[in-house]
Chain A
């Protein structure tokens, strides 16, 4: 099962290497990873998307906690939460299909940020499913390049 883990760590050099090293050493896979500072400058948040059985996720969580620099690990999957990922996608276009592409971008509330005769670059933000849906619709036009930020997520309401 797909899990979104939100990990609060010390904001200092080398911490990401410890987390990445832990995953490679113990044979856990990371589907996506996003790192940034938080409302408190001394902390960073690492949002990890991982896939695995419950026991594997439990091990990942415990091993993350074992790192001295880890403050808190939250599995957002079970809680009500919001996920977002931004994707920049460059898609092939021509005179005939340009309006069709624009229509799809509009439906998905994407933003066209660059356009030329032969291709168009679109910025889209959404959760995993929406983004995958968008990309699958663009496929037939020919996707030239995709750049993704990795998923970030936050719990809804007043949850900590």
Chain B
């Protein structure tokens, strides 16, 4: 092997190639100049965003839609701190990501040098792990570790902080083929004894419900889940991050549980005698008040992260392992000895689904936001990637879009990050060229990363932004209406909005608008057929609420809805 030494910045780029990275999202600055100089010479495609937060979200969307590790890059100090929201978002939703940040020279660390921030300290609680590289000799190994940690076990973001001297100094480039970190050995194969016990419990249960979470999708276990349901004939509810793991409108599907879940999902959970939870973590948006959640159910909890088991609710049968591995093994046993459908239970579910469907009012003159989503279902035939911002539009998108494929619905669940959807959509589109990528936005959220219109315009990233514009911060408004006696403090955006069509046009992006129901279909068709990015400003019914709703901290079968209290 040639013993020629390589500059740290070049080692970084060569390491990224070894990891199969083809696209990165970033923003240059003083302490990453050497890295950018090597990016200039490299064939790795760098997307210049207009704010570092967008780089992190784009890497996130890239990762969620493909399962690959997303990569973002920012300079030291404010560049690094601007990534934090995006890193925290990825951390809460277990997204594999590696974030590289520039840092002041190792000798200057701790002196409050220009653009210095302790990004290791800042991101410790919002990353799976982070590294400060102190010597260029450690660089390649550290990058190898970062990617390995990000993608294995329960995935998550890893940050690598690179003092400028590390990018300038030289070392022999030697990228390890494989790596063992003795203190980090995630369990992927579930205990066979526990799996057999689980099947026994499923067999004996009368009213079981399966809860599928984001872990099913990140383990690429959607096929195995579908087979598992076809073998056991149990109703299955998908959390926000689990949408698409199981066909949304299938007979066994309960759609989404929780605060804005379907009433039939919540009622089924409350009546269940067994919950089989796969890759989900009993978030408070699912459980409501813990003491009242699924009062009659024993819990089988399958998760790759042992710390999730027993964190929120007591588990009768824990199975630590990768959802795909565990489901495969379960399916193998189930094929040997089948389970009979629990007909009385399925009849109850059927009736619940008939009695409590999702409903909304249609008006001839005003556009219902839910209607827009139903038209999108028709026009895309389910073959589109969706991202969302955060708020009422997000919950309608969860409720009304027809989720049929995993990795096709990408939303900030855990952190609830407004401004996530648009940059995430950029990442999805870069990872999936030629596919339809639609960002369902609210007029509030869209303005949180609106500057990225410049990015999609320059690179012609043909993301379709559909703004369900009600000129409110709608979700907060809903809470103010219901719980704060209609005191609409700082949520009414009427008269404060820009003209989104003109904003789009100013950036060189197609801007469209619909103000009447009759215009919706045509406008959406035009947007979808346009070969380039689009902003569609859809003026929807202003005071539409998301129902059903479980008030925060309430029991999930005590919902409020269109017909008053459900």
A residues at B contact (CB < 8 Å): 9-10, 14, 17-18, 21, 25, 55, 58-59, 62-63, 65-66, 68-71
User: How does the 8 Å CB contact mask read for B166-190 relative to A, with 1 for contact and 0 for none?
Assistant: 0000000000000001111000000
Contacts of A63 in B (CB 8 A): 307
B347 interfacial contact with A, CB 8 Å: no
B121 interfacial contact with A, CB 8 Å: yes
Contacts of A58 in B (CB 8 A): 310
Contacts of A70 in B (CB 8 A): 183
B382 interfacial contact with A, CB 8 Å: no
B125 to A21, Cβ gap below 8 A?
A: yes
Smallest Cβ distance from B187 to chain A, in angstroms?
11
A59 to B305, Cβ gap below 8 A?
A: no
Contacts A62-B309, A66-B307 aside, 10 further interface pairs with beta carbons under 8 A come to A10-B183, A14-B132, A17-B124, A18-B124, A21-B125, A55-B310, A59-B307, A68-B181, A69-B183, A71-B183
Smallest Cβ distance from A74 to chain B, in angstroms?
14
Contacts of A59 in B (CB 8 A): 307, 310-311
B125 to A25, Cβ gap below 8 A?
A: yes
* CA–CA, A17 and B305, complex, Å: 22
Contacts of B306 in A (CB 8 A): 62, 65
* CA–CA, A58 and B318, complex, Å: 14
Output the nearest chain B residue to A72 by Cβ-Cβ distance: B183
Smallest Cβ distance from B359 to chain A, in angstroms?
41
Smallest Cβ distance from A115 to chain B, in angstroms?
42
* CA–CA, A59 and B311, complex, Å: 7
Contacts of B298 in A (CB 8 A): none
Q: Give the contact-size bracket for chain B.
A: 10 to 19
Contacts of A25 in B (CB 8 A): 125
* CA–CA, A71 and B185, complex, Å: 10
Smallest Cβ distance from B110 to chain A, in angstroms?
12
Contacts of B120 in A (CB 8 A): 14
Smallest Cβ distance from B115 to chain A, in angstroms?
21
Which positions 118-173 of chain B face chain A at CB distance < 8 Å?
120-121, 124-125, 128-129, 132, 149
User: How does the 8 Å CB contact mask read for B292-317 relative to A, with 1 for contact and 0 for none?
Assistant: 00000000000001110111000000
Output the nearest chain B residue to A8 by Cβ-Cβ distance: B183
Contacts of A69 in B (CB 8 A): 183
* CA–CA, A10 and B307, complex, Å: 21
Contacts of A18 in B (CB 8 A): 124
Output the nearest chain A residue to B153 by Cβ-Cβ distance: A66
Contacts of A71 in B (CB 8 A): 182-183
**Could you list some 26 contacts between A and B, CB below 8 A?**
A10-B183, A14-B120, A14-B132, A17-B121, A17-B124, A18-B124, A21-B125, A25-B125, A55-B310, A58-B310, A59-B307, A59-B311, A62-B306, A62-B307, A62-B309, A63-B307, A65-B306, A65-B307, A66-B305, A66-B307, A68-B128, A68-B149, A68-B181, A68-B183, A70-B183, A71-B183
- Residue among B128, B132, B307, B311 with most chain A CB within 10 A: B307
* CA–CA, A21 and B128, complex, Å: 13
Contacts of A21 in B (CB 8 A): 124-125
- Residue among A9, A62, A63, A65 with most chain B CB within 10 A: A62
Output the nearest chain A residue to B182 by Cβ-Cβ distance: A71
Contacts of B128 in A (CB 8 A): 68
A-B interface contact total, Cβ < 8 Å: 33
Output the nearest chain A residue to B149 by Cβ-Cβ distance: A68
Q: Contacts A55-B310, A58-B310, A59-B307 given: A68-B129 contact, CB under 8 Å?
A: yes
The 5 closest A-B pairs by CB, nearest first: A62-B307, A68-B129, A71-B183, A68-B184, A25-B125
* CA–CA, A130 and B120, complex, Å: 41
Contacts of A62 in B (CB 8 A): 306-307, 309
Smallest Cβ distance from A95 to chain B, in angstroms?
52
Contacts of B125 in A (CB 8 A): 21, 25
* CA–CA, A9 and B183, complex, Å: 8
Output the nearest chain B residue to A55 by Cβ-Cβ distance: B310
* CA–CA, A17 and B360, complex, Å: 51
Smallest Cβ distance from B164 to chain A, in angstroms?
20
User: How does the 8 Å CB contact mask read for B379-391 relative to A, with 1 for contact and 0 for none?
Assistant: 0000000000000
Smallest Cβ distance from A67 to chain B, in angstroms?
8
* CA–CA, A59 and B128, complex, Å: 17
- Residue among A63, A68, A70 with most chain B CB within 10 A: A68
* CA–CA, A71 and B305, complex, Å: 16
* CA–CA, A14 and B310, complex, Å: 29
Contacts of A14 in B (CB 8 A): 120, 132
* CA–CA, A36 and B309, complex, Å: 31
User: How does the 8 Å CB contact mask read for B38-63 relative to A, with 1 for contact and 0 for none?
Assistant: 00000000000000000000000000
Contacts of A68 in B (CB 8 A): 128-129, 149, 181, 183-184
Smallest Cβ distance from A148 to chain B, in angstroms?
27
Smallest Cβ distance from A23 to chain B, in angstroms?
11
Smallest Cβ distance from B4 to chain A, in angstroms?
30
Contacts of B181 in A (CB 8 A): 68
* CA–CA, A55 and B121, complex, Å: 29
Contacts of B121 in A (CB 8 A): 17
- Residue among A25, A58, A62, A66 with most chain B CB within 10 A: A66
* CA–CA, A17 and B130, complex, Å: 12
Smallest Cβ distance from B191 to chain A, in angstroms?
16
Smallest Cβ distance from A51 to chain B, in angstroms?
19
* CA–CA, A62 and B120, complex, Å: 23
* CA–CA, A55 and B182, complex, Å: 27
Contacts of A9 in B (CB 8 A): 183
* CA–CA, A156 and B484, complex, Å: 61
Which positions 178-207 of chain B face chain A at CB distance < 8 Å?
181-184
* CA–CA, A21 and B129, complex, Å: 13
* CA–CA, A70 and B182, complex, Å: 9
